[in-house]
């Protein structure tokens, strides 16, 4: 297993947002996490990636316990989290945004740019644009490409198609499809047509807990069945 989470509890003050969650990710697997707003999906990803400390439970990543580490240390071990809010450095160019990710990873800028442009050639055309002026789809492509800098082993992606137009969702879908098998991924996604076409396995969350695990390809491909878990 590349990731093994056991009996994880996460609290915001007195409110429990993630409750006794156990899950695993296999090497090279594309795992999806579905569930309504407020189910605890973002909290779970932020906790795994070290942005939030759990109240209880263990997080084993690539053979080491990371439950006590902060986000920077977890990133150095080879995990990346792509935030739901699509945050970029708006005042900087796309190239400078890439540079800021390349530097801490010890990667040369030219190599980092190759990695980012490698996921979608269109990115080459807006390298010198201010990141704040990008469309939602362009921003998501930048974020996905940037997350691959330094060759991480596990990528956590929070709602990559949220707020995008249909044609742009297709573009992001194709990029995700192209990344499939290259590394392990956990993707939160409410667009179930994306889930049923890409997922190797699915966990459904409700009220902070894992409600179900779907492993049968026929069940995963059945969008109507997936909808019953929302
Ligand atoms: N920063 C926060 N402070 C307090 N409560 C929060 C915070 N972020 C999320 N919550 C609460 O935790 C629960 C889970 O939220 P979240 O993880 O964002 O769910 P999801 O990503 O599935 O929509 C919700 O009840 C939400 O209101
Ligand atoms: Mg969320």
Given pLDDT bands bounded at 50, 70 and 90, which one contains residue 4? very high
Which ligand 1 atom is at minimum distance from the Cα of 18?
14
DSSP assignment of 191-214, as one string? -HHHHHHH-SEEEEEETTEEEEEE
Nearest CA to ligand 1 atom 18: 42
**Does residue 46 line the site of ligand 1, with CB under 6 A?**
no
pLDDT digits over 113-125, tens only?
999 999 999 999 9
Strands (E), 88-169: 154-158
Cα–Cα distance measured from residue 117 to residue 153, given in angstroms and rounded to the nearest whole number? 19
Assess contact for 117 and 124: CB atoms under 8 A. Answer: yes
Which ligand 1 atom is at minimum distance from the Cα of 208?
14
- pTM here is 0.96
Both tokens of residue 109? 């800028």
Q: How far is CA 113 from CA 127, 154, 178, in A?
A: 9, 20, 17
Ligand 2 center to 161 CA (angstroms): 12
pLDDT digits over 169-199, tens only?
999 999 999 999 999 999 999 999 999 999 9
Among 38, 67, 39, smallest CA distance to 211 is for 39
User: Can you give the residue ranges of every domain in the chain?
Assistant: 3-85+155-227
What rounded mean pLDDT belongs to the chain? 96
The matching CATH number, chosen from 3.40.190.10, 3.40.190.290, 3.40.50.300, 3.30.420.40, for 3-85+155-227 is 3.40.50.300
Cα–Cα distance measured from residue 163 to residue 138, given in angstroms and rounded to the nearest whole number? 12
Residue 230: the pLDDT is 85
**Does residue 43 line the site of ligand 1, with CB under 6 A?**
yes
Q: Is the pLDDT of residue 223 over 90?
A: yes
Ligand 2 center to 180 CA (angstroms): 22
């Amino acid at each position: 297993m590349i990731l093994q989470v056991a009996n994880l509890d996460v609290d915001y003050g007195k409110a429990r947002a993630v409750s006794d969650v156990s899950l695993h990710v296999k090497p090279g697997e594309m795992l999806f996490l579905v569930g309504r707003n407020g189910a605890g999906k973002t909290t779970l990803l932020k906790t795994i990636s070290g942005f939030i400390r759990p109240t209880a439970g263990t997080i084993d990543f690539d053979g080491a316990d990371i439950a006590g580490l902060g986000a920077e240390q977890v990133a150095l071990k080879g995990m990346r989290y792509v935030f739901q809010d699509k945050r970029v450095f708006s005042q900087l160019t796309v190239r400078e945004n890439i540079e800021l990710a390349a530097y801490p990873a010890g990667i040369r800028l030219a190599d980092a740019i190759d990695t980012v442009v490698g996921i979608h050639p269109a990115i080459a055309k807006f390298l010198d644009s201010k990141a704040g002026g990008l469309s939602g789809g362009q921003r998501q492509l930048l974020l996905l490409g940037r997350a691959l800098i330094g060759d991480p082993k596990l990528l956590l992606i929070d709602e990559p198609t949220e707020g995008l137009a249909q044609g742009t969702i297709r573009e992001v879908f194709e990029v995700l499809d192209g990344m499939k098998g290259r590394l392990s991924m956990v993707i939160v996604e409410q667009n179930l047509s994306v889930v049923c076409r890409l997922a190797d396995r699915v966990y459904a969350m409700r009220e902070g807990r894992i409600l179900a695990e779907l492993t049968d390809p026929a069940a995963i491909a059945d969008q109507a069945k997936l909808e019953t878990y929302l």
